[in-house]
């Protein structure tokens, strides 16, 4: 496995809903696609119960009546923009329960599945695609949405199970991905730095502090330089028109300030089957061809 050329390197992102692939790691995806890496997105649910978060569409009866089809079309557009392949795992969106106490999830919700059983669908994808690198969310799901937490659980289970020939033999020969990462781009250090740059530019800072693990910055291991791909990331985000308000907090910080203030997307390396050195600047560190060391004549 080590020493593969870029055209043979394969990256699998596992996400909970359509739009997550554009809000987490999209510039990284565009960078690697541009370099010839094969990128596949496995989307756990269809986003069937997702709220319409764009106020311009929130009261549109056609949108509300056809949300599943619309979200699938939005994903198709994002897929075209970023250049990845995509597969649906077929689970049903849990929705986001709100209230105190929280109401129970619907009986068919992804958030209620047995992760050991549900991992079989992802094992099949892993064995067919044979990724060298897999990404997903941390144990909190990035934020505590039940589908994000379950996405984390089934990814960890499938990462191990796909390598065990005694498990899920009906899904093909065993395959061991070399590395597993968590998305970690929404952390306090990034938010603080962007706010600082905005203030230096004399701009009123309304940067949205999204739900974030206060300890995430200390967990970062890997920083992918991808600022030149931030514009295509933003296009992919806007493609999810029912979920992303083009005048909302996702775009509160000017693009040039994002590129100058924090030009990376950030990750935590969780598992590596190959030697690597921290900090990394490449998800495929340890997997690329090593430069030849010249032999000196004595």
Binding-site annotation: residue ranges for Zn(2+): 17, 20, 148
Nearest to 265, CA basis, from 200, 181, 144? 181
Alpha-carbon gap, residue 77 to 71, rounded angstroms? 10
Answer for the pair 13, 7: CB distance below 8 angstroms, yes or no: no
Q: Which positions ≥6 away from 138 have C-beta within 8 Å?
A: 152, 182, 183, 184, 213, 216, 219, 268
Binding site, by residue number, is 17, 20, 148
Tokens of 203: 């701009």
Whether the upstream peptide bond of residue 187 has omega within 30° of 0, thus cis, is: no
């Amino acid at each position: 496995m080590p020493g593969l050329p870029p055209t043979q390197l394969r990256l699998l992102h596992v996400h909970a809903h359509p739009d997550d692939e554009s809000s987490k790691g999209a510039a990284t995806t565009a960078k690697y696609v541009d370099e010839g890496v094969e990128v596949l997105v496995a989307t756990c649910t269809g986003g069937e119960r997702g709220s319409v978060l764009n106020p311009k569409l929130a009261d549109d009866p056609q949108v509300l009546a056809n949300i599943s089809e619309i979200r699938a079309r939005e994903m198709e557009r994002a897929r075209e923009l970023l250049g990845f392949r995509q597969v649906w795992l077929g689970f049903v969106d849990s929705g986001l329960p709100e209230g105190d106490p929280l109401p129970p999830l619907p009986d068919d919700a992804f958030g209620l599945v047995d992760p050991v059983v549900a991992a079989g669908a992802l094992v099949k994808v892993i064995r067919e695609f044979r990724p060298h690198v897999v990404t997903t969310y941390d144990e909190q799901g990035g934020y505590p949405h039940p589908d994000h937490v379950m996405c984390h659980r089934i990814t960890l289970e499938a990462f191990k199970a796909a390598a065990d020939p005694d498990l899920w033999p009906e899904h093909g020969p065993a395959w061991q991905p070399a590395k597993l990462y968590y998305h970690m781009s929404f952390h306090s250090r990034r938010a603080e730095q962007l706010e600082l740059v905005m203030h230096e530019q004399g701009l009123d800072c309304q940067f949205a502090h999204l739900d974030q693990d206060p300890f995430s910055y200390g967990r970062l291991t890997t920083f992918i330089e991808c600022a030149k791909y931030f514009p295509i990331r933003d296009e992919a985000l806007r493609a999810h028109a029912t979920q992303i308000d083009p005048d909302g907090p996702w775009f509160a910080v000017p693009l040039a300030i994002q590129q100058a203030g924090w030009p990376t997307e950030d990750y935590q390396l969780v598992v590596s089957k190959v030697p690597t050195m921290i900090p990394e600047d490449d998800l495929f560190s340890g997997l690329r061809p090593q430069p030849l060391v010249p032999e000196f004549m004595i």
